[in-house]
Structure 1
């Protein structure tokens, strides 16, 4: 799988953007401790613990979704993918409903599923439900992601990014994951479909 140099840079920017809030909160907690030692057992430690957990979960998610996460193995379990997603969304307004039974799938296929989930999650600006199903369809691996919630929508700039041929200059750190996902689908010879014809619902599917 080959990607444009700018796409790689934007993926790094996306990761940094998602980590910025947690790192800033860690810094704030440390400052509170340095200013008031009596807070060591209170609010400052709570802020530090929560922010550290958020940073760790987001790093773990992006390591697999965009990087070479998974170690030397070329497979990953769907339970592992579920945990990555649940931890990544922890504390937000999106509930994860993962209906798939645990199975071991190819690591690159797992990356594709996480990409679809990220697109689905970002289609829920007011929160909602994210339902994920993994199944075998005619001997092929199938993914289905349903994003359901008030105002569920694919932003126009993200729609633009959901193309293999989009010009890198039209991508941003907020949309590059969509482009990366369709490139990954192409590299896996996967059939990918995104539907937004039902109010308050976005449906994403891939057949490998």
Structure 2
């Protein structure tokens, strides 16, 4: 394994590519539905309008999630409400394939800790590629949170290469837009002085994040 070294501009470009990848699908669906409306076919009007509403909600949820998970979310040293994080996480992750139980007190935490738990939720979705149930629990000790996330579903597995990427390492020392998210999650964990571990038991993958020693 080789240490990954990225210039700040390259990291920004890869993260932007990742966010665009998440948003392009619902935006594309809106464009397609608008084209259907332009055809003025009464039998397709209700379908097109419903698709626009559903896709607009999805695009908004994905952007709100990305703003907290990847964005600045306030100035240096800012605090973020766990309740707000839970709202955007539920809006983004609850769908036909996934369900999320967000179990956290309504409290302010340093932004990097909140960004970390949101990024860990993305990794949890990758652990259950066929869908399933996510449970995210947060315990607090002052302004220090500990996160315990379980992902339960058919064919659960620890995402490939995730532990190496979290440690900023890869076989070639390079990454693409697909791999930038776990790399970024590891960077956020170190900035928050937290350590991440994975385990698997049957169809349940567990991700924990605690204060580093």
Asked if Structure 1 and Structure 2 have the same fold, meaning a TM-score greater than 0.5 normalized by the shorter chain, the answer is yes
Residue 29 of structure 1 is aligned with which of 27, 30, 33?
33
Residue 134 of structure 1 is aligned with which of 108, 131, 138?
138
| Counterpart check, 1:206 vs 2:193 | no
Q: Give the secondary-structure state (helix, strand or coil) at the position aligned to 2:92.
A: helix
CA contact (8 A) 1:161 1:170 kept: no
CA contact (8 A) 2:90 2:100 kept: yes
Q: Give the secondary-structure state (helix, strand or coil) at the position aligned to 2:95.
A: coil
| TM-score for both structures, normalised by structure 2 | 0.86
| CA pair 22-178 structure 1, distance change in 2 beyond 3 A | same
| CA pair 100-25 structure 1, distance change in 2 beyond 3 A | same
Segments of 5+ residues of structure 2 without an aligned counterpart are none
Matched residue, 1:105? 109
Mapped partners of 1:88, 1:23: distance in 2: 15
- Please give the per-residue CA displacement for 1:136-193, whole angstroms capped at 9, x wherever unaligned: 3598421111111111112324344222244785422222111101111111211221
Q: Give the secondary-structure state (helix, strand or coil) at the position aligned to 1:7.
A: helix
| Counterpart check, 1:81 vs 2:85 | yes
Matched residue, 1:186? 190
Mapped partners of 2:70, 2:172: distance in 1: 17
RMSD: 2.5
Q: Give the secondary-structure state (helix, strand or coil) at the position aligned to 1:207.
A: strand
What is the number of residues matched between the two proteins? 206
Q: Give the secondary-structure state (helix, strand or coil) at the position aligned to 1:28.
A: helix
Segments of 5+ residues of structure 1 without an aligned counterpart are none
Q: Give the secondary-structure state (helix, strand or coil) at the position aligned to 2:149.
A: strand
